[in-house]
């Protein structure tokens, strides 16, 4: 009798212990547990160990507080100029209020996806094709602001929205590729023309510089020749002047010497006769003797005789 009772009590104790152990919950890092008691919101458990009442309390939802990334499928949108394209988006969000996230909306991810699609259509509908392709940053900013405001009652904060791919129609892609090819060819032609222009300018400037240098060299050569001729002429004139000055000085010295020697008129006339004799030694066949020299003949004879004595 005692043995069955002990066994039952032991089983009951083990069951109670298991229930108590199952009521101990440990919340890991970057998570939060939403707890309900008798179907109503009881509280939000943070990181650490918690105890819930058996049967009465239950964990309604486990919420991840880390930033999450959701990649939505491409959505068809129509631009302002009636071009249909497909755009897929990537949304980065984080749960800031586990209670609002658990009770704010039935399916938060589906709600964000639908909200992203409608917001994207509204923004793209006000832009033309070219603006859509070149205004990604503007579109991202507008979408993030709109989604952040819309998801705030759900306890969700949208940190960032990115347009992953913009896929225009095939005809538009073909036209864009042709336009890009034509633009590249135009830029290539412009670069080639600019290169040829610069080359021609450089060649012309080189020829111009060469001509200027040649002209300057010729000018300097002419100046040097003129200065050399001038210097030679000056030196020749100075030489002639010095020669004339020397002759005049010699004549002056001769006259001075004659005067200092005290030569009389007879000596002077004798010198004149010697000069006439030298003139007669030349090749002239006719000599005109001045009358004064004829008068000097007798005087010369007497002088000769006197000198002999």
C-alpha to C-alpha distance for 11 and 286, rounded to whole angstroms = 185
For residues 270 and 239, membership in a common domain is answered with no
Q: Do both 247 and 296 map to the same domain?
A: no
Residues 235 and 278 in one domain: no
Q: Which of 153, 168, 183 is the last residue of a domain?
A: 168
List the domain range (segments joined by +) for residue 237. Answer: 170-262
The CATH number of residue 91's host domain is 3.30.479.30
Mean pLDDT per 10-residue run, the chain (309 residues)? 75 85 88 91 91 88 92 88 89 94 90 91 88 86 92 93 86 76 86 90 89 88 88 85 82 70 59 56 52 52 49
- Look at the chain and report how many structural domains it folds into: 4
| Rounded distance between C-alpha atoms, residue 268 and residue 295, angstroms | 14
Give yes or no for a contact between 112 and 91, defined as CB atoms under 8 angstroms apart: yes
Do residues 96 and 135 share a domain?
yes
Predicted confidence at residue 111, as pLDDT, reads: 92
Burial annotation 55-77 (CB, 10 A radius, 16+ → b, else e): eebeebeebebeeeeeebeebeb
Q: What is the pLDDT of residues 117-173, one digit of tens each?
A: 999 999 998 888 888 888 888 899 999 999 999 999 999 999 999 998 888 878 777
In DSSP terms, 6 is beta-bridged to none
pLDDT at residue 304 in the model: 47
Using CA of residue 64, residue 69, residue 71, residue 76, what is the dihedral sign?
Answer: positive
Domain co-membership, 111 together with 41 = no
Looking at the structure, tell me whether residues 177 and 160 fall in a common domain: no
pLDDT at 274: 60
- Grouping H, G, I as helix, E, B as strand and the rest as coil, residue 197 is helix
pTM attached to this predicted model: 0.54
Residue 160 phi/psi, 5-degree rounding, is: -160, 150
Position 221 scores a pLDDT of: 87
């Amino acid at each position: 009798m005692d043995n069955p009772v002990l066994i039952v009590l032991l089983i009951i104790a083990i069951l109670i212990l298991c229930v108590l152990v199952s009521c101990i919950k440990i919340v890991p890092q970057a998570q939060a547990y939403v707890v309900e008691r008798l179907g109503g919101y009881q509280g939000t458990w943070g990181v650490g160990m918690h105890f819930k009442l058996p049967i009465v309390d239950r964990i309604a939802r486990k919420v991840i507080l880390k930033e999450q990334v959701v990649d939505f499928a491409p959505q068809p949108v129509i631009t302002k100029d009636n071009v249909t394209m497909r755009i897929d988006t990537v949304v980065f969000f984080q749960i800031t209020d586990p209670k609002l996230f658990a009770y704010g909306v039935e399916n938060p991810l589906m709600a964000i996806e639908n909200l992203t699609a409608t917001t994207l259509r509204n923004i793209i509908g006000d832009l033309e094709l070219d603006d859509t392709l070149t205004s990604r940053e503007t579109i991202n900013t507008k979408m993030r602001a709109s989604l952040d405001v819309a998801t705030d009652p759900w306890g969700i904060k949208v940190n960032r929205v990115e347009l992953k791919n913009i896929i225009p129609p095939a005809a538009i892609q073909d036209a864009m590729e042709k336009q890009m090819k034509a633009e590249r060819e135009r830029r290539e032609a412009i670069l080639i023309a600019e290169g040829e222009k610069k080359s021609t300018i450089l060649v012309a400037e080189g020829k111009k510089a060469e001509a200027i240098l040649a002209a300057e060299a010729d000018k300097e050569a002419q100046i040097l020749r003129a200065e050399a001729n001038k210097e030679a002429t000056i030196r020749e004139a100075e030489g002639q002047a010095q020669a004339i000055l020397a002759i005049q000085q010699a004549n002056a010295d001769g006259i001075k010497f004659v005067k200092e020697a005290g030569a009389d008129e007879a000596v002077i006339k004798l010198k004149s006769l010697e000069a006439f004799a030298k003139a007669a030694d030349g090749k002239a066949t006719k000599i005109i003797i001045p009358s004064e020299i004829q008068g000097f003949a007798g005087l010369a004879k007497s002088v000769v005789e006197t000198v002999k004595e």
